[in-house]
């Protein structure tokens, strides 16, 4: 009926207004949060299956806001990208990762690397390499201890410029990963051209490998292909022992996921390393 239609419209309109207000609020709060450096980083271990050792951590940003509560990066990173706030935010994140790596180093874990997620918007800025290099230098950190995680979407954009940047970053000593592999473009030609160290298989492929033979076949094929192209493979979102065993049998190099640990504050991450050593020794 007409009446019903009007109600639906009203609902839709209210939702839209709510969304817009929420967007304005997030935007405003993000600006404040950047000024106050209200962000922290949590660290999730990457475990090398052959060495049976933690070889590094992925840094994942966390934001707990007075008004909005805990906001997931899956929500606020896209907002920051839309408004350009991603640039100052990324700089804060890289700086914090340096400070945390220094904490690792002071406790004898300087051989571990920290992986930083790089937004496409940041990567494609003209001065991206200068800006990241400056932050590292200011903190007496070397690119050798950092890994940059770039999504397929990021590297598929502006190919020539991308290759130039990746080659330069690699020369500087950064390790380079392709993140969320399998969720973006289907073209694989870039894998041959780009100097990538690691391929991270997206968690959507990992979740069903125990029960779906087709998923297993795809993961197996990705691992073989990556190895032929001299890349190491990291499986993300691994939650079960059965998945670890399947991945080990397929020759997967590294595992990341709740099976080993959720992302945690740097202090806990350092404790986790001690715990891990005790487990291995005893």
Q: Which residues contact Ca ion by CB under 5 A?
A: 117, 149, 179-180
Least CB distance to ligand C2E at residue 3 (A): 42
Contacts with ligand C2E, residue ranges (CB under 6 A)? 44, 59-61, 72-74, 77, 93, 117, 119, 179-180, 203, 237-239, 257-258, 263
Least CB distance to ligand C2E at residue 61 (A): 4
253 contact, one of Ca ion, ligand C2E, none, CB 5-8 Å limit per kind: none
Place of tokens 């691992």: 223
> Residue 249 and residue 148: Cα distance in Å, rounded?
27
Between 145 and 256, CB nearer to Ca ion: 256
Between 70 and 108, CB nearer to ligand C2E: 70
77 contact, one of Ca ion, ligand C2E, none, CB 5-8 Å limit per kind: ligand C2E
CB contact at 8 A, 118 and 179: no
Least CB distance to ligand C2E at residue 14 (A): 28
> Residue 218 and residue 51: Cα distance in Å, rounded?
25
261 contact, one of ligand C2E, Ca ion, none, CB 5-8 Å limit per kind: none
How many DSSP H helices and E strands does the chain contain? 12, 9
> Residue 93 and residue 77: Cα distance in Å, rounded?
12
Between 179 and 253, CB nearer to Ca ion: 179
Between 31 and 73, CB nearer to Ca ion: 73
Fill in the DSSP letter of residue 145. G
CB contact at 8 A, 206 and 219: yes
Residue nearest to ligand C2E (CB): 257
Between 61 and 85, CB nearer to ligand C2E: 61
> Residue 173 and residue 114: Cα distance in Å, rounded?
13
CB contact at 8 A, 255 and 55: no
Least CB distance to ligand C2E at residue 110 (A): 22
Place of tokens 């969720």: 183
Residue 162 tokens, joined:
């991308």
45 contact, one of ligand C2E, Ca ion, none, CB 5-8 Å limit per kind: none
113 contact, one of Ca ion, ligand C2E, none, CB 5-8 Å limit per kind: none
Least CB distance to ligand C2E at residue 248 (A): 16
69 contact, one of Ca ion, ligand C2E, none, CB 5-8 Å limit per kind: none
Between 17 and 103, CB nearer to ligand C2E: 103
Fill in the DSSP letter of residue 174. -
> In Å, what is the CA distance from 208 to each residue of 203, 218, 225, 253?
9, 11, 20, 19
> In Å, what is the CA distance from 161 to each residue of 17, 64, 97, 221?
40, 36, 26, 29
């Amino acid at each position: 009926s007409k009446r019903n239609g009007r109600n639906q419209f009203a609902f839709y309109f209210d939702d839209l207004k709510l969304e817009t207000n929420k967007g304005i609020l997030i935007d405003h709060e993000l600006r404040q949060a950047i000024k106050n450096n209200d962000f922290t980083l949590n660290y999730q271990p990457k475990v090398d299956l052959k060495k049976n050792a933690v070889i590094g951590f992925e840094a994942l940003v966390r934001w707990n806001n007075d008004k909005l509560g805990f906001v997931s990066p899956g929500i606020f990173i896209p907002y920051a990208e839309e408004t350009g706030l991603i640039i100052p935010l990324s700089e804060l994140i890289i700086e914090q990762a340096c400070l945390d790596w220094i904490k690792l180093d002071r406790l004898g874990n300087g051989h571990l690397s920290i992986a930083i997620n790089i937004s496409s918007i940041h990567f494609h800025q003209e001065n991206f390499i200068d800006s990241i290099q400056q932050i590292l230098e200011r903190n007496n950190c070397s690119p050798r201890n950092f890994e940059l995680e770039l999504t397929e979407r990021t590297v598929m954009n502006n190919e020539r410029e991308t290759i130039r940047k990746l080659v330069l970053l690699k020369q500087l000593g950064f390790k380079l990963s392709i993140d969320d592999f399998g969720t973006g473009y289907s073209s694989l030609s870039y894998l041959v051209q780009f100097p990538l160290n690691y391929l991270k298989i997206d968690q959507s492929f990992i979740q069903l490998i125990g029960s779906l033979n087709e998923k297993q076949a795809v993961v197996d094929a990705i691992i073989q292909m990556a190895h032929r192209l001299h890349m190491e493979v990291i499986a993300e979102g691994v939650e079960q022992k059965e998945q670890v065993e399947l991945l080990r049998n397929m020759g997967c190099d590294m595992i990341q996921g709740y099976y080993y640990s959720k992302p945690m504050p740097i202090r806990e991450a350092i404790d986790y390393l001690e715990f891990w050593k005790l487990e291995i020794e005893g």
